[in-house]
Structure 1
Amino acid sequence: MDFNILCSDKTWIKLFFLVWIFASSFTNGNWMYLGMSSVAVDTQQTEKCNTVPGLVLEQLDLCQRNPESLLCVSEGARQAIHECQNQFKFERWNCTTSQNYSVFGPIMTKGTRETAFIYSILSAGVTDSVTRACSAGNLTDCVCDPTNDGKNSVEGWVWGGCSDNVQYGLHFSRKFVDAPEVLKHQDTQSVRNKMNIHNNEVGRRTVRDMMRLRCRCHGVSGSCEIQTCWKSLPKFSTVGAKLKEKYEISIRIAGRSKRKLRPKTPKRHRQARTGRKKRLSKDDMVFVHKSPNFCTPNPIKGILGTEGRLCNRTGSGPESCDLLCCGRGYNTQVVRLTDRCQCRFIWCCYVDCKTCETLFDRHTCK
């Protein structure tokens, strides 16, 4: 679905999120489902916010004050889920989702590194989507960022036009995405609440830090005597790739921390500690629990296993049959592909083609 259509259409067709069967089946709501639903209603009816399952009071307040912002929350969640599946398409855990209200399933009950990535990418998605809507003038609470418009830079160019208003995107994301985690008082928040808030901020900071300077030349015959420049958001796929890098080097934290998050020291290193403690960076993705074994199905934990997954027999990365199939081996099937080929134009007036067959091997995990 095109983002511009979604966040700029002021008429009837609005993406909304009301699925009664799931609302009655799940008592604990999850705003992430907003990226999975496609029920259309008129969002000018602010009382509809009260019927959206899974929103806490702070989120309901934001919805009622600016219903259209929730449309962009939905788009942000949708693009985040899509990018999660893109980044993990060759992994044993491939960001599995379902059409029910839980979205990611039982994996969310544990604070694993996969859960950490989910929180980071969804927070980043909301930040990105709301920021773009601001710059396009589609939200009543914000506009693009004109702060530096007209100012000269030491590099010789001039700030021009409006930059993407990432500050509003950050502010909105903190208010909306963090709301379920900050209900508790700071002293009584669990380490899991703090982990989620920390990873939410990792996603937001990644969007902010990856903003790029874009410039346009002005002058006679394109001489570029003057440049006007502004800050704009990166492609969301680059944000996803950066968060995947953070996932790969994510840090496990102690599960009983009462005040601040701190790295967990492996048992083999405890005897050799010198008293110096490693400090967590605000840019570090963190997790609490070890990841489960994604090789074999486990319905209770929501794990599908890797049986039947396509793999690369000659590859060496995570998509290779050796790694993806967890050492179980793979099946090979010869697939016949039929297509039109050797086409030529016949005067007048039709195209004559032959039918060609191509055979290729298809490998799937046992």
Structure 2
Amino acid sequence: MKLSQTFTLYGLLVLVLFSCQVTMASWFYLGVASLAAQTAKQKPETCGGVPGLVYRQIEMCKNNPDAILCVGEGVRLGIHECQSQFRYERWNCTTKQEDSVFGPVLTRATREAAFIHAVTAAGVVHAVTQSCSAGNLTDCSCDMKLHGRVTEDGWKWGGCSDNVDYGVWFAKTFVDAVEKESDIRSLVNLQNNQVGREAIAKQLHLRCRCHGVSGSCAVKSCWKTMPNFNEVGKFLKKRYEKPTEIAPRSKKRLRRREKLFRKVPIKGDELVYLDPSPNYCRQNPDKGIMGTRGRECKKDSKGPDSCDLLCCGRGYNTEVIRMVERCHCKFVWCCKVKCKICETMVDKHTCK
């Protein structure tokens, strides 16, 4: 296939994806578009050709083309973590790329929408910061602000700390650009975006290395690194489990729905929502709900993956699966590994 043909196919894919349904969260499509670009070994010809991006985002895209690829990587990172955290629950972070990356789930300000906004914002911070530290972006590098300074404890800042400040700035500027602070839904989204960004900034790990004669720790150099993204996902999942409901008539700032606590300020690590979550038990394509029919469950579990909870009381089917695998492997000199073949019967439970 010629290079021009490859680029044309990529352009058509992007146009199809973006022309289906432009929503306030259409920048999520960069996760799909960047994947197509990598597959075709191309970069988008112009950021202005991506419908749904606001002016500020288009300008950032033109001025920081490499960083925009990180936005796509961050979105994919967020989607993967969302599906990992919810893989055993009634809502399992379903994506629908034929009309909208997350489908109609984002049309309402539910707890699930709050998690999506937070985890994708965190993904953008993580991806951009990682590229900074790797030297892949021209506008940033690793954080050297404290390099060489010695603390009272006798260790000094060294190495190359992750430049989370730049990652947070870029994610805030790009992701928040679509929101209007005069709109209650936008205020909710801005809060949840902030929670996602802070989930990384507040969980930086301190790593140290000792230097000295014969392995002594006469000098200890330390630097800060980002947490594994799975840790970020767990942090946000805990916030999802205890979200804060917002008064629907909040205007300039968010207020709690409970009157007794209405004057208590919203904390920076609180996920917020406006609308109650729908029933995810039965399929409802109009609301982006796939239902739980056919989902595998665990009969003896006490958690959300139990057949009682996941199947919503409808019951479950049991299928006996025959599994054949290598077992009792031994190393035989020299140089073979001999194994036996073991056969086991496993019960598989799926929701009715």
Q: TM-score, normalised by structure 2?
A: 0.90
- For residue 64 of structure 1, what is the aligned residue in structure 2? 62
Structure (1/2) with the larger helix percentage: 2
- For residue 3 of structure 2, what is the aligned residue in structure 1? none
- For residue 330 of structure 1, what is the aligned residue in structure 2? 316
Alignment of 1:158 onto 2:153: no
Contact 1:30 1:101 in 2 (8 A): no
Structure 1 residues 190 and 340, CA gap change in structure 2 (3 angstroms): same
Deviation at 1:66, TM superposition (A): 1.5
- For residue 226 of structure 2, what is the aligned residue in structure 1? 233
Contact 1:110 1:289 in 2 (8 A): yes
Report Cα offsets for 1:134-173 as digits up to 9, x if no partner. Answer: 1111111111111101101122100113211111111101
Structure 1 residues 151 and 43, CA gap change in structure 2 (3 angstroms): farther
Contact 2:17 2:29 in 1 (8 A): no
Moved more, 95-104 or 241-250: 95-104
Counterparts of 1:83-232 in structure 2, within 5 Å, are 83-182=81-180, 186=181, 189-232=182-225
- For residue 30 of structure 1, what is the aligned residue in structure 2? 26
From 240, 252, 267, the counterpart of 1:281: 267
Equivalent residue of 1:178, what SS?
Answer: helix
- Mapped partners of 1:347, 1:121: distance in 2: 51
- For residue 302 of structure 1, what is the aligned residue in structure 2? 288
Equivalent residue of 1:19, what SS?
Answer: helix
Contact 2:26 2:52 in 1 (8 A): yes
Report Cα offsets for 1:58-96 as digits up to 9, x if no partner. Answer: 111111112100111111111110000000011110101
Q: Percent identity?
A: 52
Structure 1 residues 39 and 214, CA gap change in structure 2 (3 angstroms): same
From 74, 77, 95, the counterpart of 1:76: 74
- Mapped partners of 1:163, 1:351: distance in 2: 44
- For residue 261 of structure 1, what is the aligned residue in structure 2? 254
Deviation at 1:346, TM superposition (A): 7.7
From 289, 296, 311, the counterpart of 2:297: 311
Structure 1: gaps spanning 5 or more residues:
1-11
Deviation at 1:49, TM superposition (A): 1.6
Structure 1 residues 347 and 252, CA gap change in structure 2 (3 angstroms): closer
Deviation at 1:126, TM superposition (A): 0.3
Deviation at 1:277, TM superposition (A): 2.8
Contact 1:32 1:103 in 2 (8 A): yes
- Mapped partners of 2:106, 2:306: distance in 1: 27
- For residue 3 of structure 1, what is the aligned residue in structure 2? none
- Mapped partners of 2:144, 2:338: distance in 1: 58
Deviation at 1:23, TM superposition (A): 2.7
Contact 1:43 1:68 in 2 (8 A): no
Contact 2:319 2:348 in 1 (8 A): yes
Deviation at 1:190, TM superposition (A): 1.5
> Number of paired residues?
340
Structure 1 residues 276 and 341, CA gap change in structure 2 (3 angstroms): closer
- Mapped partners of 2:51, 2:262: distance in 1: 47
- Mapped partners of 2:216, 2:281: distance in 1: 59
**One-letter code aligned to 2:30:** L
- Mapped partners of 1:279, 1:20: distance in 2: 43
Structure 1 residues 343 and 317, CA gap change in structure 2 (3 angstroms): closer
Q: TM-score, normalised by structure 1?
A: 0.87
Contact 2:281 2:291 in 1 (8 A): yes
Structure 2: gaps spanning 5 or more residues:
1-5
- Mapped partners of 1:36, 1:98: distance in 2: 11
- For residue 19 of structure 1, what is the aligned residue in structure 2? 14
Contact 1:198 1:282 in 2 (8 A): yes
Deviation at 1:42, TM superposition (A): 6.1
Equivalent residue of 1:119, what SS?
Answer: helix
- Which 4+ runs in 1 deviate beyond 4 A? 41-45, 342-354
Structure 1 residues 192 and 357, CA gap change in structure 2 (3 angstroms): same
- Mapped partners of 1:349, 1:257: distance in 2: 72
Deviation at 1:343, TM superposition (A): 5.3
Equivalent residue of 1:338, what SS?
Answer: strand
Deviation at 1:22, TM superposition (A): 2.4
